[in-house]
Amino acid sequence: MAQRIGFCTALLSVWLWSFAAQTQPFLRRAGEVFLVNGNASGLARYGDYLYMVLNESTHPLVVYDIRQPERPRVVRHLQAPGWPMRCRLVAPGWLWTVHGNGEGFFDLTFPDHPKLATDPQAGPLLRHVRRTDFRVHPNFTYTTCAWQNVLYYGTENQATAIYDIAEPNKPKLLAELTDGVPMQLQENYLFLSGKAGLQVYDVANPAQPKLVGRLSPTSDWPFTLRISAVAWEKDRLYVGIRQDLPALFGRGPFAQAQSGLAVFDVRDWQQPRLLGYTWVENTISDITGLACKDGYVFASDASFGLRVYDTRVPERIRQVAADRQGGELSAAVLLPKRRLLVLGQNLSGSTFVVDIADAFRPRLLGYYHHGLRVWGQMASSDDERYVYFQADISRPRPGLSGLFTLDVQDPQHPSLASVVPDVARAYGLACVGQYLYSSGGDIFDLRQPNQPKKLAVRLPASGYQIAHYDNHLYVANFAESSERGQLSILRLQTPTEAEIAGRLDLPLGHRVISMAFLDKRLYLGWAERSGEARRPRGLVIEVDITDPRTPKILRRFDPEKDLQLTGHYCQVWSDSQYLIVGSYHRKIGVYDVSVQNRQPACVALLDDLPSAWWLVGESERLYRICLDRLLVLEYRKR
């Protein structure tokens, strides 16, 4: 009998545990699609492998297999110390990545899988030079090369000091060049950038460098030189070039915003001869580094990623490959009927289309590259064929802000349908019926969804973010001239006539990142500037909007004290039951906020997540728009 009772008790316990698991709310990671962030800032080639570094990236080192140079293949993305701006070969089998906030020395014994040296005794001689003797940034970062026991150091006086570092703690000055700083070292040639242009020295004997050639701009060239991007192979010299970008999306010119590649015959270094050149067309570009193999030239473009050119016929240079790397995810719109999510970027921007049908296997389908900045809430047409986003750029001048319409009928090949230029800058869009409203105050007629029409009439308020709820528009304004922002509530009398129904002064400065509605309450996810902190602090504000004419602040939630999140700025989203709040760093939580006289009840919390700017969701599924990836989360309602 006792055994039977014990068995029944155990069975009941299992059943209760199973029932609880099915009924209690939970939050878990599902799948992710990795897109990588940052700006392509430098290149180095080692045999059949190419290394590209991305500044301000979570995985800054990209490894390519270039055995077929016209078809570079990404082998892997690796983490590296700091935010590397350059990478250079500094000894046989050693790659150096460098920035002021971190250096890395990678062992290339297996060139397809560089290994970061962690043993303090390992690595090339350069690693053991005292950083108190030389400035890491900006000198090491931008104007220094090295090979084995010789250091070519760019000084603050725009000169090059050549040192013997065979004894790293006792560097010995060998020679000094006063006409420029080092940009590249290949075999026995050192390439300097100076006032006179590009200087080339033979440094076979580093104690006695010999000037062998010079490349100075001439009035015949329709470009200026970008000497930081230089490479040499056999009798060919490759140099980055720049000019004004004549036009972009109907506006321009943009100063020095178009870059390209020039090829010179240097069989006689004293008389380099221009053979041909090419431009990156129809987009902002910034070529930062070059490498070459068998007549193919690899270019790191900070505004795009990797570009590959066939220069074997220099009079007809062709781009033969391009690999999109970089940017930073910061905007989104969900297309629920098509099971697609469209993502935007705030650096070197592209717009990506992701298949989210399987939460555990989201797939990147295609992208459209525009090179501008997109932030916040995008929108879509009712049939989900067209996606709307505002893209802008402040520099180079004169700047640009436009409403873009993207046709995503073929998600693998999204195409630009139209651009409405000269719109007010905005970081949020709200689509209501056949009209689109921007936080910048513009109104667009969408009756022709592929050709939005900007109306002459504007909203009576503008701001940083906008949302729609119960025939009202909620516009949160920047805190610019004062320390306080403002929430404006606009009642839509007709789609083109809005009147201010109510206003609410917001208690803190900076900006509202996102908004969410739940049971006649509005939740504002906040970014508050705090002292000298690089990232703003977070805050969540709860506003009673039962009567839009008299909105009232009900509660303020500190992300650390009240929500168990990190203190960084917050993104908010809501379903019909819970408030979901994500912090920029690490955490996201699901909260019951139904009881007014107590703090939110955290019903689920996740930690150790990638940093994220934005958050969107649908029933029992969340999409965390991380800097370098889309992360899909699942949660269950009670």
**59: helix, strand or coil:** coil
Whether the CB-CB separation of 41 and 289 falls below 8 Å is answered with yes
**Model confidence at 532, in pLDDT bands (50, 70, 90)?**
low
Residue 500's φ and ψ, nearest 5 degrees, are: -75, 115
Query: Is 67 among the domain residues?
Result: no
For the chain, percent of residues with pLDDT exceeding 90: 83
CATH number for the domain harbouring residue 368: 2.130.10.10
Q: Is 3 exposed, middle or buried (0-12, 13-18, 19+ CB in 10 A)?
A: exposed
Distance between CA 8 and CA 466 in Å, rounded? 57
| Residue count (the chain) | 638
Q: What is the pLDDT of residues 358-373, one digit of tens each?
A: 999 999 999 999 999 9
Query: Is 529 among the domain residues?
Result: no
> Strands, DSSP E only, in 246-378?
254-265, 273-279, 287-293, 296-301, 305-310, 318-324, 329-335, 340-345, 350-355, 363-369, 376-377
Burial 598-622 (b: 16+ CB within 10 A, else e): eebeebbebeebbbbbbbbbeeebb
Is residue 304 over pLDDT 50? Answer: yes
Model pLDDT, residue 535: 59
Model pLDDT, residue 483: 62
Query: Is 435 among the domain residues?
Result: yes
Whether the CB-CB separation of 414 and 366 falls below 8 Å is answered with yes
Q: What is the pLDDT of residues 26-85, one digit of tens each?
A: 899 999 999 989 999 999 999 999 999 999 999 999 999 999 999 999 999 999 999 999
Query: Is 344 among the domain residues?
Result: yes
Sheet holding 287-293, edge to edge: 287-293, 296-301, 305-310, 318-324
Q: What is the mean pLDDT of the chain?
A: 92
Q: Which residue has the higher pLDDT, 217 or 637?
A: 217
* Token pair recorded at residue 137: 């940034």
Query: Is 53 among the domain residues?
Result: no
Model pLDDT, residue 24: 56
Query: Is 400 among the domain residues?
Result: yes
**Domain count within the chain:** 1
**Model confidence at 531, in pLDDT bands (50, 70, 90)?**
low
Whether the CB-CB separation of 63 and 108 falls below 8 Å is answered with no
Residue range of the domain that includes 431: 327-458
427: CB partners within 8 A, 6+ apart: 375, 376, 377, 390, 439, 464, 465
Q: What is the pLDDT of residues 136-175, one digit of tens each?
A: 999 999 999 999 999 999 999 999 999 999 999 999 999 9
Whether the CB-CB separation of 438 and 422 falls below 8 Å is answered with no
Query: Is 411 among the domain residues?
Result: yes
Distance between CA 199 and CA 214 in Å, rounded? 5
Query: Is 52 among the domain residues?
Result: no
pLDDT (mean) for 482-501: 90
Distance between CA 392 and CA 438 in Å, rounded? 14
Model pLDDT, residue 497: 96
Q: What is the pLDDT of residues 545-604, one digit of tens each?
A: 999 999 999 999 999 999 999 988 899 999 989 999 999 999 999 999 999 888 899 999
Model pLDDT, residue 569: 87
